[in-house]
Structure 1
Amino acid sequence: MRIAFVSFETVYHRDTETSQRFRTVCELFAARGHDVNCYCAGFWAGEESAFERNGVTYHAVSSGTEARSSFLLRLPFVLATASPDVIHASAQPSSQVLAASWGSTLARAPLVLEWYGDDGVSDTRWSRLATGRPGRIVTPSELVGTWVREIGADGDIVDTVPNPIDCERIHRVEPGEAVDVIYARRLDEGANLESLLLGLAELRGRDWSAKVVGDGPERETYERLARDLRIEDRVTFVGDLDLEERIAAYRGAHVFAQTADHCVFPTEMLWALAAGCVGIVEYHANSSAHELVEGWDRGFRTTSEDELAEAILAAGDLEHREYDEAFAEYDRSAVADRYLELYRTLQEAQGLL
């Protein structure tokens, strides 16, 4: 299948959750042998109009991000010339959705919109217009799907497709050291690690160990809080780890705690659950993490530090695992299949199959 991805900015311009997700989806299809082209602002040196990386061919529709008007004017005609089977566009900026829609009409190809929402979903004239253009809007969670519907999207065209993980990779990594509780996230103002530390402090009289993975501007504050709570001897801050090291840590841990107050999709938690961890989620209105544990017998949803401490105790009665087959549906191949099914449904509806 020939797939045209549209994103004015890519992860090579600005590294955000949205751009990471978009690159992941592009590379999912490239790895399966599809013809994957991404139409974007140029980001590479030299005069070449195209640049290939990890099986994805990037095409410079404009010379750089300062030439947005040129990008929007040229995009419909570039897409028409490319003759893709499907056009898959990022929702940001909203103006590019309208340009991609015109390109979809000229190319007679269905339009799919990827709306990740890590910066929220702004209710503007442009974003409202964008909701009416695609055949499908894909969001990473029901939370973001709700935000998109609230600004006017037809609920019938909003689909949820999660971030993928690599289950085979989990199997290949040897488990790390045993630890009772693990937390992983960038330690910034949204980390809300204090909830976990306060919960652990409630269990000060019991035998447990905890590990915090990640770094950031609030790390020193959280380390000081652990000292103030007199639990610093049992909480280890290990800083940033690469993915292999994180998988090893998750396979060795018993519980993964998710307390961040904003999260459109809990990717690290998903890796940990698939690696066998019991999941404990502190509920927040702007976090979708609870969606992963609802209706699951190895997951707990809490609303306070006291409940979190009780959940940690209850989790101790569950067996330790190093892999959980229940999360195979989030594997890269399964997620790619969901996108392909969506593409083919749209093609069939337009009489293109």
Structure 2
Amino acid sequence: MSRARDPHRSFFPFGNPFRMISPKGSQMSPQLLGILNSFEATLAERLKKLMPKNKDEILSISWMTLAMESLCETHNDIKNLALDIDLPVTDWDEKWIDVYLDISVKLLDICIAFSSELSRLNQGHLLLQCALHNLNTASPQQFVRACSSIDGWRQRINSSNPRIEKCGTILDNLLGSLDLPKVKNSAKGKVLMQAMYGVKVETAFLCSVFAAVFSGSAEKLLDLDVADTYLWAQAFTNLQHSVRFSNGRFDVLKELEEVNAFVKKLYPIIQGELDTVETEALQKTVEETGKAAEKLSQGLDHLAKEVDGFFRVVLSGRDALLSSLRSGATFYDSISGGKMDDQGVN
């Protein structure tokens, strides 16, 4: 699904940047080429694993959790690649550093927005729990309280999150900052930039899927053009096509929709719209609603942990770069020093 105002948005507005980063005298050695090919092949397999099995899967918490895990793994892979090629920060072009820091800030902002939305949805679980607790008794007074709690739950899940609404602008700014700078006579620099391109494509697209799902607006879904010269290009194109056309809507999470379906069964009962209420039928519906609500809450908790993990992966990489710039240490030393922390994220 492309945006109405810009139906075919290229990831890079100025054409393929890798025409600019193939300078003479920077031929890759077999070792560097092997490192790059390994990175791209791994990214291709990771993207294949994200292919939705049916049209509703991208609206599920389980798929979104898998997508966030994929981002964490890819960002950790780019750190490992930086270690493998052993490119000192002193050899980084200032423009590379500026682009990296700019993108990392935007990704941190997006993570904060996603975390706030997951927290907002999970807070609604407390209201629903309160309603279900009150429905364990046949007291009309408790029914009134349950109705009030469900009204509060509905209001919360149907309201918009200003931070999510701003994600579209952040993603637009992210695209505008991704035109890669030139690489001058540096084979290692070329490897780093080409690998980072793959990271940015996956990151921008998956973040746009999250923004689309959370906002209920397909307009937030990015349409990225990728040249077929990369080992992961076909896998990405297939994934993007599948996500864009497998579902004509981005209105509600699958698990949330399931809870809402049970709530719709309960609502006429607690509002007194039915003349008679079968206690056994009511209890069964309350139990089913409780199970669906608990499944939703646990899924939201798990996804929130993955989003927090991605936030820390991005932050640790940013901190490692800034630390090496301040101390004069190599990026290798800075990342290695933070590796134990990174392992604790997942």
TM-score by length of 2: 0.22
* Larger CA Rg, structure 1 vs 2: 2
**Which structure: greater helix fraction?**
2
TM-score by length of 1: 0.22
